[in-house]
Amino acid sequence: MVTDSFTQYNSNGIGVSITNDGYAQIVSMFTINSDVGIYCGSGGQCDVTNSNSSFGNYGLISDGVGARKYTGVLTSATAVDSDTFELDLTVPVQSIKTAEYTGETGMMTADYSCSHGFEVGRE
């Protein structure tokens, strides 16, 4: 969704709601008397510029995250301030099944979902 030069008066309601991985580019949006001016939930995201929220409770609220879109590893070293990198998306996902932390020693023991090349111990 793209909006420009839009005024939303919604007494105690939500001015704009962006959810379920939706995306909005909002330019010159003015919400008046809304409980929430802009709400992003369940992976919804937005870019906002030249906008404001007047006489409401919250200007912007973000809640929750969307689904992971990509998982991979960098395949080569990259120079500082580089705008290009290579990513291998075929790498299996590492996830932690269980983890135990001991406060006295500062050690954490974790069980992973598949084999890995991690060293046992600490540096």
For 64-75, how does the pLDDT look when each residue is reduced to its tens digit (9 = 90+)?
Answer: 887 777 777 788
Separation of first and last alpha carbons in the chain: 49
Residues 56 and 79 in one domain: no
| Distance from C-alpha of 99 to C-alpha of 101, rounded to nearest angstrom | 7
Residues 8 and 37 in one domain: yes
CA 52 to each of CA 2, 40, 80: distance values in angstroms, whole numbers, following the listed order:
16, 16, 36
pLDDT for 120 equals 67
Residues 11 and 49 in one domain: yes
CA 40 distance to own-chain centroid: 10
Work out the pLDDT band at 88, boundaries 50, 70, 90: confident
Residue 17 lies in a domain: yes
Reduced DSSP (H G I as helix, E B as strand, rest coil) percent helix, strand, coil of the chain, to 5: 0, 50, 50
- Structural domain count of the chain: 2
Residue 29 lies in a domain: yes
Residues 11 and 50 in one domain: yes
57: containing domain:
2-63
Across the chain, mean pLDDT equals 86
